[in-house]
Amino acid sequence: MAKWRLATATLRRHLRSPSPTISSVFRDPTGALSAANQRRRYNTPEDPRGKWLTLPPFSPTVDAAAIGKELSSDRDSAKGSTDGSTTAIRWILRCRPDLPRNLVQKLFRLRQVRREMSLSCDGDELQRSQLKRVSAKEPLNLGDRIYLPISVDNDAPPQPAKKESFRCSEEERKFVCSLVLYKDPAIIVLNKPHGLAVQGGTGIKTSIDELAATCLTFDKSESPRLVHRLDRDCSGLLVLGRTQTAATVLHSLFREKTSGASAYGVKKNIKSLKRKYLALVIGFPRRQRGQISAPLRKVVVDDGKSDRITVNDNGELVSTQHAITEYRVIESSPHGYTWLELRPLTGRKHQLRVHCAEVLGTPILGDYKYGWQAHKAREPFVSSGNSNTPTKPSLSLFGLDLDGGDVSSKQPHLHLHSKQIDLPNISQLLEKLQVSSDSDISDLGGLKFDAPLPAHMQLSFNLLKSRVETCDIAKPELVSLTDSNC
């Protein structure tokens, strides 16, 4: 009797519950879908706030690289553009730069990334769709949200300890700030001194990028970014981007300047970026002006310990970089020196130094790497009359010798100075694009910067008595070396 009652109760329970499907039996031995399987089946989170990490809604950003290319073009009209092809994986890496790319790719392979699309409905109202799986290369629409498993933070590797920021004394901070010639919301322009490296590396104690992050942030949360380079021993104008967007536009501008000149030569007239250098060279060029178009290649020396750049004039099939430089003689001195104005149309490593030394045959004073033989044969310069040469060079901050190194020194500093740069107004550009991403930027204003000479070059100018009666050196395209010379 008891066995009959137990069997009857069991039968009643089976009759009340729905029969499991074959697929559900394979998923779950009990015949019921688990909560996790339900979420996978219906693509909706049980509790989005507790189970998923939600990224900010997607909004198209300005395609800064494309804008830099537009500015470099020779078209009469140019418009800003947005990055309309942002994929799901790009948006994740942009919102979560701390996540390794291989981890994000693994999430897509395991189909653990969800997308909530934003659909327009009844005018301005927006309706959210259910969560759906998204592929890595699927483009996003305005307002779409990406959901990641909350466990992604546990899977991510620990962040490395933050490097201790460079510490400056108050005196050093004031010195760095004194290098600023111009500052607006988008860029900072510095007059870099001789001997200060632009970027840190092995054996470099102090560099511009470190000092800028410590002393030149001002009201920005981001540190200024490098967009081009100057040699350590070269002085003059150095432009930094104050935001990621501004830096990308500027970097693209410098890159397009080089690639455009390499591809089209003088036919492609890129007016948005112009640079002028002033150099004192040993000897006299055969012509008063001209254009140097000579490919450069890298040569490894000292058993691979170092390298140097040289002109590739033997026609060998080696990796070369096209380089173009315009030059003009400003004044020649009877002492065996010549002041040159140099305009690089491309931006190759050591381009001006190699072109002066190997093509013109007049190495830049103080360039011992490419003009060692000329310096060995150089006769000591003896100034006549009263000179302003310091009797004892004094060490400035960061170990910089800012007083010695003129033409009368036994070991002169490099006499190469980035004198002038013309740039489009990047701050005005970004303001326009904030109003509308399709703004016409063809009428964008320009900025012109001029850097005073460093002490050693100014003193060399005075010692050589390079007074030009026609005041050619004081024309608008090249500001006078001293206020009293013309």
Residue stretches of the chain with pLDDT short of 50: 3-4, 6, 10-49, 267-270, 389-395, 466-486
Q: Side-chain half-sphere of 178: how many Cα atoms within 13 Å?
A: 9
Which neighbouring-strand residues pair with 274? 422
Instruction: Confirm whether 28 is domain-assigned.
Output: yes
| Residues 308, 128: Cα–Cα separation, whole Å | 60
231 catalytic? Reply is yes
Instruction: Confirm whether 370 is domain-assigned.
Output: yes
Cβ pair 419, 236 in contact under 8 A:
yes
Cα 441 to its chain centre, rounded Å, is 22
| Residues 339, 280: Cα–Cα separation, whole Å | 5
Note the pLDDT tens digit of each residue in 384-424. 655 554 444 444 678 787 778 999 999 999 999 999 999 99
pLDDT of residue 81: 53
Cβ pair 371, 411 in contact under 8 A:
no
Give me the sign of the Cα torsion angle 390, 396, 401, 407: negative
Cα–Cα nearest to 312, from 324, 322, 304:
322
Total domain count for the chain?
2
CATH number (domain holding residue 321): 3.30.2350.10
pLDDT of residue 37: 41
- The residue range of the domain holding 399 is 273-474
pLDDT of residue 465: 74
Q: How far apart are the first and last CA of the chain?
A: 126
Q: What is the CA radius of gyration of the chain?
A: 32
**Residue 386: how many CB atoms within 10 A of its CB?**
6
| Residues 42, 32: Cα–Cα separation, whole Å | 15
For the purposes of burial, counting CB atoms within 10 Å of the CB of 311, is it exposed (0-12), middle (13-18) or buried (19 or more)?
A: middle
pLDDT of residue 133: 93
Instruction: Confirm whether 486 is domain-assigned.
Output: no
Model pTM? Answer: 0.71
Instruction: Confirm whether 143 is domain-assigned.
Output: no
Cβ pair 467, 485 in contact under 8 A:
yes
| Residues 359, 323: Cα–Cα separation, whole Å | 12
Contacts of 47 (CB under 8 A, 6+ apart): none
Instruction: Confirm whether 264 is domain-assigned.
Output: no
pLDDT of residue 227: 94
Instruction: Confirm whether 303 is domain-assigned.
Output: yes
Q: Find where tokens 């003689």 sit.
A: 329
Which neighbouring-strand residues pair with 339? 280, 331
Pick the catalytic residue from 144, 231, 367, 406.
Answer: 231
Instruction: Confirm whether 447 is domain-assigned.
Output: yes
Instruction: Confirm whether 23 is domain-assigned.
Output: yes
